[in-house]
C-alpha cells in the first residue's frame, strides 16, 4: 500500500507541475496576444488621423454603436441601427447611445462644418453636438423629419430634451455651426456656407465640461452614414451671437 500511495503521490505531483507549467505557458501566450493587439484607443486614434489638430485629442464616444473613419480630411460616421440621442420630456423614450467624435474646446469658440448625408429613413440624423454627459448636451441636426423632409432641427437637453424643427433643406447637404460665449450658445445653418440663419440661442451650464464635435444616428437597418467636411474651429465667439457671418469664420482659425 505504501508503494502504491507513493506512486499515486508522484503522479499527482507530476500532474500538478504539468498543469502549472501549462498555465504559465497559457498566460504567456495571452500576454503576447494582448501586446500584439492594438488598444481600442490606439485603433481609434489611427482611424481619426486626418482630422484638424484641435484643443485636446479627438475621442470616440459610444464607438461600439457605429464606425468612425477619416478619408481625405472627411469624417464619416456610420451609426448602427436603433441609435439615438434623445431624452423625451415625459421620460417615455430615453436613448443616448449615438456614436460621437468629440474634442474638448477651451473658452469661447465658433465651430462649423459642411454636413452631408442621404436622408432616407425617418429620423436619419447627422449633427454637430456639444456634449457634457447623458443629461446635459445640445445638438444641431440635419435630419429626416417625421414628414420625411430634410430639416434643420435643434435639441437642447437639461435633464430632459426639448426639440424644435427649423427650415427644410432641398439638398443632400447643409452647413452647420455652433458658437459659445461663456455659458451662452447659438446654433446657425447655411445652405451655401455664406448666408447664415439663426436656428437656436440658449444657455448650458459650465459643468459638466462640454466636448464638441459630431454625431450620427438612425432608427433603421439601412446603410446610413454621415460625412463632415470643411471643418473650421475658431477660438473666439462671433461679434453677434445671434448673427453669424463670414468674418466670424475668418481670421485665426484651425482647419
Q: How confident is the model at residue 44, as a pLDDT?
A: 53
Tell me: do 24 and 125 sit in the same domain. Answer: no
Under-50 pLDDT residues of the chain: 1-43, 46
Q: Are residues 124 and 206 in the same domain?
A: yes
CA distances from 153 to 18, 31, 168, 196, 236 (A): 65, 48, 9, 15, 24
**Quick one: pLDDT at residue 109?**
96
Looking at the structure, do residues 20 and 76 belong to the same domain, yes or no?
Answer: no
What are the φ/ψ torsions at residue 189 (nearest 5 degrees)?
-140, 160
Residue 255 lies in a domain: no
Q: Where is 44: in which H helix or E strand? A: helix 40-47
Same domain, 33 and 63: no
Q: Is 101 found in the same domain as 202?
A: yes
Is residue 254 in some structural domain? no
Q: What pLDDT is recorded for position 27? A: 35
What's the number of domains the chain is made of? 2
110 found inside a domain? yes
Cα–Cα distance, 120 to 144 (Å, whole number): 7
The CATH number of whichever domain residue 182 belongs to comes to 2.60.120.200
Same domain for 79 and 26: no
Q: Which domain holds residue 156?
A: 40-249
User: Same structural domain for residues 136 and 238?
Assistant: yes
Q: Identify the pLDDT of residue 254.
A: 58
**One domain for residues 4 and 33:** yes
DSSP string, 63-91: GGGEEEEEETTEEEEEEPSS--EEE-TTS
**Shared-domain flag, residues 102 and 228:** yes
Identify whether residues 89 and 26 lie together within a single domain. no
What pLDDT does 56 receive?
74
pLDDT tens per residue across span 128-172: 999 999 999 999 999 999 999 999 999 999 999 999 999 999 999
Residues 24 and 88 in one domain: no
Question: Quick one: pLDDT at residue 45?
Answer: 54
Pick the closest to residue 216 from 62, 50, 74 (CA basis): 62
Which residues share a beta bridge with 87? Answer: 94
121 domain-assigned: yes
How many whole angstroms separate alpha carbon 31 and alpha carbon 255?
Answer: 40
What is the pLDDT at residue 28?
Answer: 39
Indicate the SS3 state at residue 5. helix
174 and 125 housed in the same domain: yes
Closest by CA position to 179, among listed 203, 149, 155: 203
Amino acid at each position: 500500500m505504501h508503494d502504491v500511495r507513493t506512486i499515486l503521490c508522484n503522479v499527482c505531483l507530476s500532474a500538478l507541475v504539468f498543469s502549472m507549467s501549462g498555465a504559465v505557458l497559457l498566460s504567456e501566450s495571452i500576454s503576447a496576444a494582448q501586446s500584439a493587439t492594438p488598444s481600442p484607443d490606439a485603433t481609434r486614434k489611427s482611424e481619426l488621423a486626418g482630422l484638424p489638430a484641435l484643443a485636446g485629442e479627438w475621442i470616440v464616444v459610444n464607438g461600439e454603436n457605429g464606425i468612425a473613419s477619416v478619408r481625405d480630411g472627411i469624417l464619416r460616421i456610420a451609426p448602427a441601427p436603433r441609435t439615438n440621442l434623445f431624452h423625451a420630456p415625459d421620460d417615455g423614450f430615453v436613448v443616448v447611445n449615438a456614436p460621437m467624435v468629440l474634442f474638448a474646446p477651451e473658452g469661447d469658440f465658433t465651430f462649423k462644418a459642411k454636413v452631408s448625408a442621404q436622408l432616407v429613413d425617418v429620423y436619419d440624423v447627422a449633427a454637430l453636438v456639444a456634449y457634457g454627459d447623458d443629461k446635459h448636451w445640445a445638438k444641431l441636426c440635419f435630419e429626416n423629419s417625421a414628414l420625411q423632409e430634410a430639416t434643420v432641427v435643434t435639441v437642447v437637453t437639461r435633464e430632459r430634451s426639448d426639440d424644435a424643427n427649423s427650415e427644410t433643406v432641398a439638398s443632400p447637404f447643409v452647413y452647420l455651426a455652433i458658437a459659445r460665449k461663456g455659458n451662452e450658445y447659438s446654433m446657425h445653418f447655411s445652405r451655401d456656407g455664406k448666408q447664415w440663419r439663426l436656428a437656436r440661442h440658449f444657455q448650458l451650464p459650465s459643468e459638466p465640461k462640454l466636448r464638441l464635435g459630431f454625431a450620427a444616428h438612425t432608427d433603421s437597418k439601412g446603410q446610413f452614414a454621415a460625412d463632415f467636411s470643411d471643418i473650421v474651429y475658431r477660438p473666439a465667439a462671433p461679434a453677434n451671437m445671434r448673427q453669424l457671418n463670414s468674418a466670424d469664420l475668418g481670421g485665426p482659425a484651425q482647419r
